[in-house]
């Protein structure tokens, strides 16, 4: 068997980055240390993808004043193939993009075999008219609806949907839980309860969510889980570890206002 680690992490390129972009990519390689990264609010450094990485992204970002988007990057010999705009032929799928740059989709190839398909998404905090709504409550259901053809394709059995949804656990679309597994909630009994989890979906019971977003100033800020990794049920048997959040990345708030979520597979 061979192991593969993937992670999602918001690197805060929209407003007031905490660290220069090259330092964030170095942190991803040296501290997070995974094979495939879904970087939301992401950019590639001006001089290109850092050595050792390959990446798929929309160079113009989301557009207008948002010159950032969802970047999927790989290293350690893992190949990623851009299928963001769909695939023709048998087993293909069609996708539309209401917010180009928020969704990036790749096939992940290890030793010549496609082992995962990853849809990296960012829950943009606006409605269809471009008005700010402060959360992903409008965009995320629409983005997921645009992924239905992918979910129903043969790639659906190896699909991972990961990113910053800008939604708290109690506000997540229920239909997503009917077809995929939230790896953090699925492993919640294996970690310490997250004290103060905002709008938790566990109805006052110990939740085991991860603190992935520090919203606000002060030594703590609001405790929020808004970054997620969902996997197809068929991947459950090869998913061997889930960790992340502030608890597993000490000092992360000095680097970004988000903390990574990491998932390990063995194929």
User: How confident is the prediction for the chain on average, in pLDDT?
Assistant: 96
* pLDDT tens, residue by residue, 92-107: 999 999 999 999 999 9
Q: Quick one: pLDDT band at residue 220, thresholds 50, 70, 90?
A: low
* pLDDT tens, residue by residue, 17-33: 899 999 999 999 999 99
Euclidean distance between CA atoms 217 and 260, whole angstroms: 19
Tell me the CA distances in angstroms from 232 to 104, 118, 160, one per residue in order. Answer: 18, 11, 6
244 alpha-carbon distance from chain centroid: 12
* pLDDT tens, residue by residue, 162-195: 999 999 999 999 999 999 999 999 999 999 999 9
The answer, yes or no, to whether residue 36 has pLDDT greater than 70, is yes
Give pLDDT, residue 239.
98
- pLDDT (average), residues 133-160: 98
Concatenating the DSSP letter of every residue in 20-46 gives -HHHHHHHIIIII--SEEEEEEE---T
Torsion of CA 135, 138, 139, 140, to 10 degrees: 80
The answer, yes or no, to whether residue 216 has pLDDT greater than 80, is no
- Residue from 160, 164, 159 nearest 9 by CA: 164
Least confident of 142-151, 209-218, 247-256: 209-218
Give pLDDT, residue 217.
65
Domain ranges of the chain: 3-266
Contact 84, 53 (CB under 8 A): no
Least confident of 134-138, 153-157, 216-220: 216-220
Q: Quick one: pLDDT band at residue 15, thresholds 50, 70, 90?
A: confident
Class (C level, CATH) for 3-266 = alpha beta
Enumerate residues 6+ apart whose C-beta is below 8 A from 3: 240, 264, 265, 266
């Amino acid at each position: 068997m061979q192991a593969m680690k993937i992670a999602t992490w918001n690197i805060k390129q929209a407003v007031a980055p905490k660290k220069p972009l090259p330092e964030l990519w170095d942190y991803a390689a040296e501290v997070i240390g995974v094979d495939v990264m879904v970087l939301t609010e992401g950019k590639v450094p001006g001089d290109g993808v850092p050595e050792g990485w390959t990446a798929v992204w929309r160079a113009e970002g989301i557009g207008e004043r948002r010159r950032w988007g969802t970047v999927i990057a790989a290293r350690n010999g893992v190949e990623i193939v851009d299928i963001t705009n769909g695939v023709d032929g048998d087993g293909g799928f069609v996708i539309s993009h209401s917010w180009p740059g928020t969704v990036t989709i790749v096939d992940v190839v290890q030793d010549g075999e496609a082992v995962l398909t990853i849809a990296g998404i960012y829950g943009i905090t606006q409605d269809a008219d471009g008005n700010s709504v402060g959360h992903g409550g409008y965009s995320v259901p629409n983005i997921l609806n645009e992924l239905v053809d992918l979910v129903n394709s043969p790639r659906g059995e190896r699909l991972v949907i990961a990113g910053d949804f800008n939604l708290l656990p109690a506000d997540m679309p229920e239909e997503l839980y009917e077809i995929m597994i939230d790896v953090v909630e699925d492993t919640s009994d294996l970690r310490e309860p997250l004290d103060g989890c905002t709008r938790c979906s566990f109805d006052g019971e110990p939740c085991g969510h991860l603190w992935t977003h520090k919203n606000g100033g002060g030594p703590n800020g609001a405790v929020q889980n808004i970054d997620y990794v969902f996997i197809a049920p068929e991947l459950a048997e090869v998913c061997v570890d889930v960790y992340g959040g502030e608890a597993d990345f000490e000092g992360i708030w000095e680097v970004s206002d988000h903390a990574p979520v990491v998932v390990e597979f063995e194929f």
